[in-house]
Homo-oligomer: A and B are copies of this chain.
């Protein structure tokens, strides 16, 4: 379990045994079943999550009752309602399991401590954050430049395994299209 985290971090920075033991001490493990909520809208967000196995969706429910998917997260991804987490306010997003999911949790206090005490880890998170931004920018561009059909094609190309694992109705909520429209050109 923790070995997964180690390999993930060591793709960016290398850690000695002692260093990784120190890192590990800041996390705890939790397991969730399919359909369970990891983060519930309206509640405080105590953790940021590293996904060991499984698949989740980060969801926003709008006023008219529709759900929109901010992001999917699977193995080796970090996820949370980061605004609520970092500012210690109530979640406006919910994080729900699409499959049984196993995560490593880190509290904000531990996150701060870990970054302060071990600069390599801070550098690692900075790198992650940079590329997270780049990915978000790509998604924005996709929404700006492409119609529904093209966006679906791009998603297929970029995350082929994800598309396999997620029902089409959820892909539609991620792409910003109605299920019906997606259905009309998927396959």
A residues lining the B interface (CB < 8 Å): 60, 62, 66, 68-71, 82-83, 86, 115-116, 119, 122-123, 125-126, 129-134, 136-137, 139-141, 143-145, 176
Contacts and interface: CB of A to CB of B under 8 A. Distances in A.
Nearest to A126: B126
Given A70-B140, A136-B140, A145 B62 contact: yes
A174 to B, nearest CB: 8
Contacts of A134: 82-83, 86
Contact of A122 (B82, B126, B140, B144): B126
A130 B86 contact: yes
Nearest to A137: B70
A126 B116 CA distance: 12
Contacts of A82: 130, 133-134, 137
A110 to B, nearest CB: 15
Contacts of A131: 86
Contacts of A126: 115, 122, 125-126, 129
A141 B68 contact: yes
Contacts of A136: 133, 136-137, 139-140
